[in-house]
Amino acid sequence: MRQARRASGVTWARFASEAGFGEAYLRNVENGNRSVTAGVAAAYDKVLHTGGTFAAALRESGSAAVADVPWDQPGSMVVLGSLLKGSSVDRRRFLSAGAALSVSASNWSAALDLTRTTKTPGFLSDGPPLLAHVEDRLDYLRHLDDELGSGEIYQLARSELSLIVKLITTGRHRGPTVDRLHSMASEAARQMAWSAFDQGRPGAAQRAFDGSLRASADADDPVTGAYTLSFAAIQCYSTPGQATKAISLLETAKDQVKRKATPRMHAMLAARSARALSKTGAKKDCAHQLDLARTALDKGVHDDDPKTLYWVDYGEIEMIAGSAALQLGDPAEAVRRFEAGMQASYPGDEAYPRSYAIYLARAAEAHLEMHDLDAAVATARHAARCLGSVDSARSTSELKGLRSQLAAHTSHTAVREFLQVG
C-alpha cells in the first residue's frame, strides 16, 4: 500500500483528505500498527484508481471476515473452516503480521479469562482411541518437520485439521473429549502456521496462528496456546521492526501459563524472550531471560511436560544463546555458546538438521566476524550438509546470507572453493 501511494506522487495531506481518513491513522496502517480494514482498502483503491485491487486482496486473504468473527466455538469453526478452504497462495504481504498477531494474542487472553469464569471443569478421560491415533500423527509430523523441513507439512497438517474439525462438528463428542479435540485442532493449525512461515508465506502463517489460538481458547488450554504464541513470536522478531511485538506475545503467553506450565515450558518461553530481546539490543534483559531458562531446565523433566517440548534441552538453549550473542554484536560469545550447545549432546545432524543448519550458518558468521576464515568455511560446509536433505526456505535464506558475506573473501582458497562447490 505504501509503495502504491508513493508511486502515485500524491502528497500525504492530499491523499489523506481524498481518502477520508486522518494522515496519522493512515501512517499507522502502513506501518503495521493498525489493521487494514475494508474501508481503508476501499479508500486506497479510490484515491489510487487501482480498480479494487486492495479490497479484493483483503477479501481473498479472509482477514476482513476473520476480524469480525467472535472468539467463541462457533467463531472458531468458521476460522478453522476458512483455513481448510484457503488458497495455498499467500496474499497478505501488505498487512502487518505483527499487528495482527498482537490483536489475536489479546483476544486469546481475554477469551481464556472468560472461559475460566463460565466453564465447569470436567473429568479428563482418554476419549475414543481415534483421538490417540490423531495425536500420534501430529507428533509424527512434528518430527518429520524437524528432519525434512516444512515442504510437505502444511498439507499434511491441514488434512489432520480437516479430520479434527469433522469430529468436532459431528456433535457426537461432549465435555472433556471435545475440549481435547479443540486442543488437537490448535496444534494442527500451529503446524500449518509454522510450515507456512518456514516456507516464506507470512500471511498464511498469521491466519493459521490466529486459528490455533482460537481453538486453544475453546479448549480452555492455555499451554497449547502459549506454545503457539512462542512460534508466532519467531515470525514477529524475524520481521524488521516487529521484535517488541514478539516480546509482548511472549509476555501474554507467560501470564496465561504462570501457574500451569512445567519448568520446561517456562524455560522455552524464557529462551524465546531472550532471542526477541536480542533483536532490540537489550543485552542485560536478554542475559536475564537466558539465566531463567537454564535455571528452569535445572529442575529436570516432569511427567506432565507437554509432548511438544521434546526439543527443549540445554543444547537448544545454548544455540539460542549463541544466536542472541551474535545479534548483540559479540561473536566470541556466540562461538562459545554454539560450542556449548554442541557439547550438550545437541542431536542436530540426526534429529534437527533444519534448525542445525540455521545455527551452524550463524556460527560460521560469528567465525567470519572474528576473521577466522578457515573455521567459518568448515562450519559453513557443515551447515550445507545439513541443508542437503531439508526443504526449508528459512534455512536456505540463512545460508544464502552467509554466502553473500563470504563473497567478500574470495581471495581465500577455502572460501573460493566453498562458494564454487558448496
For residue 229, pLDDT over 60 is answered with yes
The predicted-structure confidence for 371-386, as pLDDT tens digits, reads as follows 999 999 999 999 999 9
Average pLDDT of every residue of the chain: 90
Please give the average per-residue pLDDT across 394-414, as a whole number. Answer: 96
More confident residue, 9 or 308: 308
| Nearest residue to 205 via CA among 320, 88, 71 | 88
| Nearest residue to 97 via CA among 225, 325, 249, 307 | 249
For residue 166, pLDDT over 50 is answered with yes
Please give the average per-residue pLDDT across 258-266, as a whole number. Answer: 96
Please give the average per-residue pLDDT across 283-308, as a whole number. Answer: 98
Please give the average per-residue pLDDT across 318-336, as a whole number. Answer: 99
- The residue whose grid cell reads 574470495 is 410
The predicted-structure confidence for 61-74, as pLDDT tens digits, reads as follows 555 456 668 899 88
The predicted-structure confidence for 184-215, as pLDDT tens digits, reads as follows 999 999 999 999 999 999 999 999 999 999 99
Predicted local confidence at residue 291, as pLDDT: 99
Predicted local confidence at residue 319, as pLDDT: 99
Predicted local confidence at residue 422, as pLDDT: 65
Predicted local confidence at residue 162, as pLDDT: 97
More confident residue, 401 or 46: 401
Predicted local confidence at residue 124, as pLDDT: 45
What would the grid cell of residue 140 be? 509424527
With b for 16 or more beta-carbon neighbours within 10 A and e for fewer, the 198-222 pattern comes to bbbbbbbbbbbbbbbbbbbbbbbbb
Indicate the residue type of 380: A
In sequence order, what DSSP letters do the residues of 319-353 get, joined into one string? HHHHHHHHHTT-HHHHHHHHHHHHHTT--TTTT-H
Question: How many other CB atoms are found less than 10 A from the CB of residue 19?
Answer: 22
Q: How far is 346 from 324, CA to CA, in rounded Å? A: 18
Q: What is the pTM of this model?
A: 0.83
Contact 180, 131 (CB under 8 A): yes
In the chain, the percentage of residues whose pLDDT exceeds 90 is: 72
Please give the average per-residue pLDDT across 87-95, as a whole number. Answer: 47
